[in-house]
Amino acid sequence: MIPAIANAVVAALLTVTPVTAPLPARADKIRQQQWMLDYLQIARAHQISTGAGVTVGLPDTGVEAHPDLGANLLPGINLVQPGGSGRIDLTGHGTGMAGVIAGRGHSGQAGILGIAPSAKILPIVSAGKYGGLQTIADGIELAVKRGARVVNVSSGGPKSLSLRRAVQAAEQADALIVASNGNTTKTVMDEYPASMPGVLAVGAIGPDGQYAPVSYPGGNIGICAPGVKVITTGQAGRYRIVTGTSVATAIVSGAAALVRSRYPNLSAPEVMHRLTATADDIGPPGRDDQCGYGVLNIVKALTADVPPMTATGTPASPAPSAPAASSPPSTPTSASAPSSAASQPASSPLPLYAGIGAVAVATAGSILALIVIRRRRRDATDHHSPTG
């Protein structure tokens, strides 16, 4: 009964979500607006790894072909319309996530440059008008079966057995799930799969490098990444600006692809540990509920000597703040990292697996409370475009 109601509300949220006009495709100006490239030292990171050989699964609203994605976009699968293509996107949410993860730009220095421009994106239409909890879980499992070593889940909802099984399938296949923890609302419910063990939950920071209030805090948060006013690929070859945990999650997924390409023998828990152990702590010393172990530092994740995990699965020492080593360390022998997620989308994390929700909350009222589509409500009020 509840899954049926959840799917119906997801559809309602999608149909009433306002979409701000996408930016025109003036590619010569686009790259300059990607503030997160300088913040994360992407030019330096790309001298070490570009994500080659790694496929990132993207169970989302689908991904449209875009000049800045090019050959990085695989054909994909449509779980919502059997037999349909994975290269469609009715909302633009999935297309936005794909650009942040693996955009490669065009004509030299023009267009969107993603975190892992040599990685492949496997688009899986599993959220949207006819998608829901079950199709998101199915999308995760399918991504893993198709060889994805990283699975980006920029959505969330109530706990379910199907999600638990999907997370277990990823663990067995040694695929790392990176999930958004959700955006802030008045509710305080946990978000899944971000709250499940073995999943890296992500929160968001703004251009000032500080925790973004739009990012929902929690004891499961493992890491934060840029999630405010991030420009990315949009529908019809255009661009849009997004804010939220969805886009922060996509950035961390791209970073995970860089690490998996650089250190192909690391297990998924070790990759998670490397990302969190090298994060820059911006809050109280040690882990906190806003940004977990700190803010993503890709260069350190690719180069630093990382201490092994303790038996309890926590870093052997606090997240380091020292500069990254000049040469890469030998492959760690053990690790298991905390989860992290979150960021407030201008095309925020899918409102319960559909990336866009706030405006619909007013009409969905009591049903939303029933299926705990909590923090997503804010998503739809995207500060910019509906992708995030």
* Residue boundaries of the structural domains of the chain: 2-381
Catalytic residue among 46, 66, 93, 384: 93
Per-residue confidence (pLDDT) for residue 127, from 0 to 100: 82
Q: Token pair for residue 114?
A: 């993603």
Per-residue confidence (pLDDT) for residue 238, from 0 to 100: 96
Per-residue confidence (pLDDT) for residue 307, from 0 to 100: 85
Q: Token pair for residue 359?
A: 């405006």
Per-residue confidence (pLDDT) for residue 62, from 0 to 100: 95
- The domain covering 2-381 belongs, at the CATH homologous superfamily level, to Peptidase S8/S53 domain (3.40.50.200)
Told to judge if 89 belongs to the known catalytic residues of this protein, a careful annotator would answer no
Q: Using a CB cutoff of 8 Å and minimum separation of 24, what contacts does 319-328 make? A: 319/276, 319/277, 319/278, 319/279, 319/280, 319/281, 319/286, 319/287, 319/293, 319/294, 320/277, 320/278, 321/280, 321/281, 324/278, 324/297, 324/299, 324/300, 327/303, 328/48, 328/262, 328/263, 328/302, 328/303
Per-residue confidence (pLDDT) for residue 348, from 0 to 100: 35
Per-residue confidence (pLDDT) for residue 382, from 0 to 100: 32
- The interaxial angle of helices 133-145 and 2-16, nearest 10 deg, is 90
Q: Judge contact between 158 and 196, C-beta under 8 A.
A: no
Told to judge if 93 belongs to the known catalytic residues of this protein, a careful annotator would answer yes
Told to judge if 246 belongs to the known catalytic residues of this protein, a careful annotator would answer yes
Q: Judge contact between 62 and 87, C-beta under 8 A.
A: yes
Whole-number Å distance between alpha carbons of 213 and 157 = 20
Q: Whose structure tokens read 């689908």?
A: 62
Pairing of strands 77-78, 120-125: parallel
Whole-number Å distance between alpha carbons of 183 and 4 = 24
Segments in the chain below pLDDT 70? 1-28, 128-130, 185-189, 311-388
Taking the CA atoms of 187, 192, 196 and 201 in sequence, report the sign of the dihedral they define.
Answer: negative
Per-residue confidence (pLDDT) for residue 187, from 0 to 100: 53
Q: Whose structure tokens read 């509920």?
A: 289
Catalytic residue among 246, 253, 339, 347: 246
Catalytic residue among 49, 60, 154, 273: 60
